[in-house]
Amino acid sequence: MSLREECGVFGVISPEPTNAACICCYGLYALQHRGQESCGIVVNDDGVFTSHKDLGLVGEVFSSETLSGFPNGTMAVGHVRYGTTGGTNRRNCQPIEVNHQKGRMALAHNGNLSNAASLRDELELSGAIFHTTSDTETIAYIVTRERLKAPSIEDALSAAMNSLDGAYSLVLMSPQKLICARDPYGFRPLCYGRTADGMYVIASESCALKAVGADFVRDVQPGEILVFSRNGVVSRKEHCGKQPKKLCVFEYIYFARPDSEIDGVSVHSARVRAGRILAEAHPADADIVIGVPDSGLDAALGFSQQSGIPYGIGLIKNKYIGRTFISPGQSTRLDQVKIKLSAVEESVKGKRVVLIDDSIVRGTTSGRIVGLLRDAGAREIHMRISSPPFLHPCYYGTDIDSSENLIACKHSVEEIADILGADSLGYLPVSALGELSCGGGYCSACFSGDYPTAIPTDTRKNRFEQKLSEIKSDK
């Protein structure tokens, strides 16, 4: 099991043909933190779709030679993936493309359907043949099915949303329209902006808008469908207000970039608030406060501001290696920790250190970091976590499909501190999560067990990729 964020989606529509692939690529660079398994771009040139998708980081998949192979187009859709349903392989790369008598479609999806298994069973029994093992293809099938009787692609998407349960922020491209939608709970972020020359841009986070020179217009509302075309922008709200807002609070704690703003709340400010709350809830006598790069730095600053303990740089991150949190496989993750971080001995040697990190999942990474600081001569290490303990699975995109490997499910706070080698340990109180989102509705099911939707019976990531021996043992 590996904790991670699902994906990042990006879309662009221009009044005139432009280098849409390059614009999309810049946007995906800005969203790379949301997924590092694979990426893809589909460009629309007068109704003809050209695509390139592969495993790897954006800079690895899209060379200058690859980008030059795309035609100019008026639209493009892009995606960076870390999938919570379906394995890491080329067939699961997005955007998903569909060729149909009603027209082509390219679909990029961020999130995780909680009813993916039942929907797929229904579709397969009605004759559908799947080429991937991701829940995104399930969404594409349902939209295509609805398109047979709907007068427009946006009507088909609206009808499809009646069948979808769980988390989905979508960008969909047809020959003439670019459409985005956010699930009625608003689990995952989605926003759009506009450039000075009239180009509209859709992205998972506002940081990607800035990367391509677009001004932020607003967040897509939970349940809202936005249709972009030559006729401008049309908002459809028939699904708005059907459910209480449940934005994943971990977007503020870890997933999003600190320079993004989600639903009117600055991610940086939310993390600073978390640090301030930690300083009040779990004070420590110490000489320096340091954060684990990158998402622990803002909270460390808040802890320092509230406690008066000086803030310092105690850990240096190798910027040329990806986030261990979204690297599949325990052995890979452990290997990456060894080269990802190094301690600044001058900052921590002989000192009492407050170490701020965003979360503890299995404890493997956290224990390694504590060991780095011990080796660098830290006298005391007081670990503070800017999220509550993970106690429950997540069915909406964070890859916690069971409680089996969650260290907080098996050990007390004192025991975890001992396992990690820390002198003390303190978590953000669950009751304080609302302060991060400034009182907005949020989902904290992985901490509290309070699920907004029905709990699926089969949550395994590889449930559509089982070996024969595994299938037999299930019967």
Given the DSSP bridges, would you call strands 341-343 and 315-317 parallel, antiparallel or unpaired?
Answer: antiparallel
**Domain co-membership, 57 together with 130:** yes
The pLDDT mean for the chain works out to 91
Poorest-pLDDT segment among 22-31, 355-364, 453-462 = 453-462
pLDDT at 325: 44
Asked whether residue 150 is assigned to any structural domain, the reply reads yes
Token match 């939608």: residue? Answer: 181
Does residue 163 share a domain with residue 44? yes
Do residues 170 and 292 share a domain?
A: no
- Name the domain boundary from 246, 281, 313: 246
Which of residues 391 and 339 earns the better pLDDT score? 391
Q: For this structure, is 24 an active site residue?
A: no
Are residues 242 and 274 both part of a single domain?
Answer: no
Which of 246, 276, 301 terminates a domain? The answer is 246
Phi/psi of residue 405, nearest 5 degrees: -105, 10
Q: Is residue 2 part of a domain?
A: no
The torsion defined by the Cα of 465, 88, 190 and 123, in degrees rounded to 10, comes to: -20
Structural domain including 351 reads 268-439
pLDDT in tens, 28-53: 999 999 999 999 999 999 999 999 99
- Which residue has better confidence, 261 or 397? 261
User: Catalytic one among 7, 22, 93, 248?
Assistant: 7
Instruction: Write down the pLDDT at residue 468.
Output: 47
Q: So what's the pLDDT on residue 83? A: 60
Q: Are residues 137 and 222 in the same domain?
A: yes
Q: Which residue from 290, 252, 255, 282 is spatially nearest to 270, judged by alpha carbons?
A: 252
Same domain, 230 and 278: no
Phi, psi dihedral angles at 16 (to 5 degrees): -130, 155
Residue in 159, 153, 181 with CA at minimum distance from that of residue 168 = 181
Neighbours of 238 (CB within 10 A): 12
pLDDT at 3: 47
Q: What is the pLDDT of residue 451?
A: 95
**Sheet strand arrangement including 105-113:** 96-98, 105-113, 166-173, 178-182, 225-229, 232-236
Q: What is the pLDDT of residue 87?
A: 57
Identify the CATH number of the domain in which residue 408 sits.
3.40.50.2020
Are 424 and 355 part of one and the same domain? Answer: yes
pLDDT, tens digit, 9 for 90 and up, residues 173-227: 999 999 999 999 999 999 999 999 999 999 999 999 999 999 999 999 999 999 9
- Residue type at 294 in one-letter notation: D
**CATH number of the domain within which 221 lies:** 3.60.20.10
H or E, element range at 434: helix 433-436
Residue 473 reports pLDDT greater than 90:
no
Same domain, 297 and 383: yes
pLDDT at 169 over 60: yes
pLDDT at 459 over 60: no
Answer yes or no: is pLDDT of 319 > 50: yes
* Residue 326 scores a pLDDT above 80: no
Strand order in the sheet with 191-194: 48-55, 38-45, 73-81, 7-18, 200-203, 191-194, 215-219
pLDDT of residue 234: 98
Query: Which of 86-100, 149-163, 250-264, 368-382 is predicted with the least confidence, judged by mean pLDDT?
Result: 86-100
Whether residues 290 and 379 fall in one domain: yes
Last-in-domain residue among 246, 276, 298: 246
Task: Please state the domain count of the chain.
Answer: 2
Question: pLDDT tier at 323 (50, 70, 90 boundaries)?
Answer: very low
Q: Give the count of alpha carbons within 13 A of 156, CB side only.
A: 22
295 and 158 assigned to the same domain: no
By three-state DSSP, how is residue 122 classified? helix
Domain presence at residue 445: no
Predicted confidence band at 429 (pLDDT cuts at 50, 70, 90)? very high
Q: How far apart are CA 91 and CA 158, in angstroms?
A: 27
Residue 63 sits in the same domain as residue 211: yes
Encoded tokens for 391:
């106690």
Q: Is 225 part of any domain?
A: yes
Same domain for 232 and 281?
no
pLDDT at 338 over 80: no
DSSP 320-380: TS--GGGS-SHHHHHHHHHHHEEE-HHHHTTSEEEEEES--SSSHHHHHHHHHHHHTT-SE
Residue 286 lies in a domain: yes
Are 321 and 36 spatial neighbours (Cβ–Cβ below 8 Å)? Answer: no
Residue 300 has pLDDT above 50, yes or no: yes
